[in-house]
Amino acid sequence: MPAKIRSIKADLLQLQVHPFLEGGFIFEFNKSINYKGEKSGALILKEKKPGVFKVKVFQDLNGDGEMTKPDLIFKGKIKNVEDADDLTNFIGSIKLKKQMHKCEWDLQKLSKNKESDISDFICTADYIPTMYGFVMKSATTGEKYFFDGIGDFMPEGIIYADEPKLSSFWYGPANWARWTV
């Protein structure tokens, strides 16, 4: 499958208030979500209703040192948070995954390389949806908070709320002998 999954991480143990983003904090990712981009990031986490939080994650994609709307790399929401104080006073780590078409990644690499030639670029026509996954893991409680993407960061295509699970009766180790010849 011609998909590229890029994962970036950051530890939010020493949060610094962002000077321009209201309620935002600045930190450093381990790498850029784009090919050879900047590592500086910002996070805005707000409680909209009791137990409902929205998050915006920024990364300095253009290298200008500012976090603006074009630098938004994830926007999400989580519902039914039992311990709201854990997220309000968050200390821990975050992880963002982005699945994209391999061609999108290769085009980013070509645009950064000076001696690249776009005429030699070959791409498949397979449909690969762009999908995001964002997790915040609390250092104090160990709880993991999984955010659903909203807006442009919602999954493309068909997503099943309760995806059917294969029964262990048919596929479990006790029944493997029944499927062998």
Phi, psi of 60 (to 5 degrees): -70, 90
Q: Classify 32 as helix, strand or coil.
A: coil
CA atoms within 13 A on the CB side of 100: 15
Q: Inform me whether the pLDDT recorded for 112 exceeds 60.
A: yes
CA separation for the pair 152, 11 (Å, rounded): 25
pLDDT at 147: 94
- List the one residue out of 46, 41, 42 whose CA is nearest residue 77: 46
pLDDT at 111: 75
Q: 3-41 pLDDT, tens per residue?
A: 888 999 998 765 666 666 666 778 889 999 988 888 988
Q: 115-170 pLDDT, tens per residue?
A: 666 666 778 778 888 889 999 999 999 999 999 999 888 877 655 555 544 444 44
Provide the whole-model pTM.
Answer: 0.77
Count of domains observed in the chain: 1
CA separation for the pair 22, 85 (Å, rounded): 19
Q: Which residue type is seen at 87? A: L
- List the one residue out of 41, 89, 83, 85 whose CA is nearest residue 65: 41
Q: 50-91 pLDDT, tens per residue?
A: 989 999 999 988 888 888 888 999 999 999 999 888 888 888
pLDDT at 74: 94
Domain that holds residue 149: 3-179
Q: Classify 103 as helix, strand or coil.
A: helix
pLDDT at 149: 92
CA separation for the pair 71, 52 (Å, rounded): 24
Q: Inform me whether the pLDDT recorded for 171 exceeds 60.
A: no
pLDDT at 167: 40
79 neighbors 52 (Cβ within 8 angstroms): yes
